[in-house]
Every structure is written in C-alpha cells, then in structure tokens.
Chain A
Amino acid sequence: MQELYTRLADILTSQFGVDESALTPTATFEALELDSLDLVEITLVVDDELGVRIPDDRLEDIVTVQDAVDVIAELSGVAA
C-alpha cells in the first residue's frame, strides 16, 4: 500500500506539477489544484504505469490522495 502511495505521489509530482511539500495522504485533489479533467488524465497515466484502469464512475469516490490509493489498491487486488 505504501508502495502504491509512493508511486502515485511520483506521478503527481513529476507529471502533474504537484509540490512535494503539499502532497500528503489527506490532501484533496482540489487543494492540490487538480480539477476533474486532471483526475481523468491521472487515471490514464495510472493505467499506463500501474496497469490499473480506474473507471469513470469511481472518480466521484476520489477526493483525497489516499482515496485514489485505496481505489487503485482495490482494483488491483492488493491487500489493504
């Protein structure tokens, strides 16, 4: 799970311009200035790099970074 968080964090900092210092599990995507279009873009990158496709109907469950990690974990069958 920690590994998933780290990998997502890397994606957010290196490809989405997120400040490392702002990046915490409880940070909301809104606070990180990432909007709904960015979220869809993130799912495409997550699919490419982590092999997990987050379907559109799960996006509304994702408010914080940890929410995203939880959804990815669930969809990839990783133990929580």
Chain B
Amino acid sequence: MKSPAITGLGAITPAGRGVEVSWHRVVDGKPTAALDEMLAAADVPVALCCRVPDFDADAEVGRGASRRLDRFTHLAVLAATEALAQAGLVDDDGRIIGADPDRVAIVLGSGIGGAETWASEYPSFLANGPGRVSPTFIPRMLSNTAAGTIAIRTGARGPNVTVNTACAAGATAIHVARDLVRSGTADVAIAGGVEAGITALSVSAFNQMGALSRNPDPSTASRPFDIDRDGFVMGEGAGVVVVESAKHAKGRGATVLGRVAGVGASADAHHATAPSPDGGGAILAMRRALADADLDPSDIGHVNAHGTSTPLNDHAEALAIRTVFGADADRLAVSSTKGVTGHLLGGAGAVEAIFALLALRSQLAPPTAGLHRLDPEIDLDVVADTARDMKLDAVMTNSFGFGGQNASLVLTR
C-alpha cells in the first residue's frame, strides 16, 4: 500500500501570501525580519519580527472574522482555503466535494492559539471588570478554534483535533493526520500548523528567556548554524497540507504532489526549554521516521532542519543529524528556511514540510539565509548563499519543540 499522498498545499508566511510566493522568496534566500512598530512602541527590547503580508480579514476570511475570530484562525483559514482549492476538494462555497465530508478529518497544531485575544481582552477585564468581558473571548482564544472553524466552513465532520508540541506542532499535526488516513479513519485529513503569537507580552517573554536574537540587523538576526547566531527571530504564519489516502487520491484522479512516507516522534525527557545536548530525542525521532518510511539515511538527500538560529538547538540538532546519518551526512544538504521566515513556532513544522516537499519537486535545496560563517562545531554541509540544484528522491524535515517534543517527517514523490 502506497504512503498517504499530499494533494494540496496552502500557506501564508512572512515570505509571502501563498505557497508559490513564499517558496520563491525562500529559494532567493531573502530574510523577512523587520522592525515592528507595535513592539517598538511598547518598548520591547527586541522589536524585530517576521510578519505575514497584510490582509483584510473581513473581506478574505469572511464577514465578522475580525470580530469573532483571532488572527491565528484567520491565518489557518487562509492557508486551508489555498490547500483545499489546489486539491480540488471544495466547491465555490468552500464546502467539501469529491470526498465524503464525514471522512474528512482536520488536524492543526498551534503553540499558543489566540494570543492577540488574550492581549486585548485581559487589559479590558482589568480596567472594566468581569461584567465587561467579551462573550466571544473563549471561542476566540481557544487553540482548537482554528480547526473547528475550518470544519464549520467546509462541512468536514471527521475527527477534528488540535495538537500542541510547541515548535513541532505543525509537523506533529501532519503525523497525526497521516495516522488517521493510514488507519482508515479518514480518507482525507486537512493538516497544518499556525501561530499568530506576536504580542508585546509574548515577545518580551521569549526575550526574557534569552531565546531571541538581540542582533538589530534584519538581514543577519536569523542566522541558523552561523558561528555568531544568538537566538531566533519570532515569526507568524500558517501552513496547511491535504493528506489523502493513496487509494482515495487515485480514485478521484487527484494530482499527487508528494507522499508522507515516514513519521517519527519522541520526547527528550530532559528540560522545559533546552534540548537534550546530545541530541538524544532528535536522534530517536529521525530514526523512527526513517524506519517508518522503510528508508536508509543514504536515501535522504536534503534535510529542512529545525535550525532556529539558537546556540543550543543548532548545535544539538547538528550532532543528532551527524549521529543518525553518519558518513552519509557528508552527502546531505542541510538547510534552515528560518533564515528567511524566522521561527513560526506552531506553524513552522507545517510550513517547513511544504518547503521540504517543494525542494523535492524542484530538485534543489534552498539556502540558509543569514549564514555567513558556519560554526566549526556544526559538522554538516549546510547550504548557504544560493540554492543548490541536486537530485533528490526523499527529504526529511525536523521540528523540535520546547519541552523536548520532537517530530521528524520523511517525504517522497
């Protein structure tokens, strides 16, 4: 039985509105970090972040969207709309066609959920009291609302699940979606990750932890695997893929863009935020994904690394990749697209799965923007400067979340 297929892709990222635009910017290696007026006005010491292009929620998501839905739900809906359109699974009203809606599942990942809702409602509560709290605070804030909203709009009545493995959530969602399809519970699973967590509070909090780059230069703040890396740049965005059983895709003549060949997950069991320095959990996740795909390390030509640009992650991840791949790591083109997009937190794993798939389809590994001098302790071939054309049969994408929650995906044609 063939691995579940990917039949649709959708994204809204700092690199652009839509998958094609985002991918082109990633291939060009142009960082998207910029000074954010809101953060600067709030005196947040780190005011660089990566924002998606402006959009009119009421016009594009639907009337009342700006009032009844948090920004994270807006982003998820926009990405899902693109993915479902490409998959040919929705009619002009956005309702599921070409599949039994009762067998269409939705799995999304998000680390924070309705961050902007908290940011606007809590001060109002403090100022005006309990009687003034918005009755829509709960549905706007809950991190499962994006997945629920997509179901309401499409009529999909399969299992509807929201996962949180922090920075791995987008990849974990694809893992769970794959399992739902492979087990026969769903024919189609709309899977993805989203984060719209750029608020003064959350950026301040990440900064207080020392997780963010304090480099004010937008073109080098996010510099994965670089000797001078000093933290990540916060981003926002959503990525959605349509995972579909091979049989169902074939039956309706869907275009197969790629396949979820293998998934692997693990926990570091080490620390609330720092990765296990020996890369232990990451090693387990990658090995599990390879075994699940029934592939050897030598079959993988490119890895879209988690590569956050933090001193700890990049070092531990490099060690883990070298351990898993051994000598085969010499022929592995490693890239971190976070050099362009920044860190999309819960959205990263899904957006990067899309970039990994496009690398496979384009037969090239994108560059790691911001990387000027490879850290000598990073014993890997990290693609810098420009994209590298190469023959690729299978790719891997890694995502490692706070709390030591790891996800690795292997994608094939």
Contacts and interface: CB of A to CB of B under 8 A. Distances in A.
Nearest to B132: A44
B376 interface: no
Interface residues on B, range: 10 to 19
A15 B63 CA distance: 11
Interface string B58-72: 100001100110000
Contacts of B63: 17, 33
B135 A40 contact: yes
Contacts of A33: 63-64
A58 to B, nearest CB: 15
Nearest to B139: A37
Contact of A17 (B58, B132, B134, B139): B58
A29 interface: no
Interface residues on A, range: under 10
Contacts of A40: 135
Nearest to B133: A44
A41 interface: yes
B135 A37 contact: yes
B136 interface: yes
B135 A41 contact: yes
B134 A44 contact: yes
B361 to A, nearest CB: 40
Contacts of B134: 41, 44
Contacts of A38: 68, 136
Contacts of B135: 37, 40-41
B145 to A, nearest CB: 13
A10 B132 CA distance: 21
Contacts of A44: 132, 134
A53 B64 CA distance: 23
Nearest to B58: A17
A5 interface: no
B67 A17 contact: yes
A40 B136 CA distance: 9
B136 A41 contact: yes
Nearest to A37: B135
- 6 A-B pairs with least C-beta separation: A40-B135, A37-B135, A17-B63, A17-B64, A37-B136, A41-B135
10 contacts: A16-B64, A16-B67, A17-B64, A17-B67, A33-B63, A37-B139, A38-B136, A41-B134, A41-B136, A44-B132
Given A17-B64, A38-B136, A41-B134, 16 more contacts: A15-B67, A16-B64, A16-B67, A17-B58, A17-B67, A33-B63, A33-B64, A37-B135, A37-B136, A37-B139, A38-B68, A40-B135, A41-B135, A41-B136, A44-B132, A44-B134
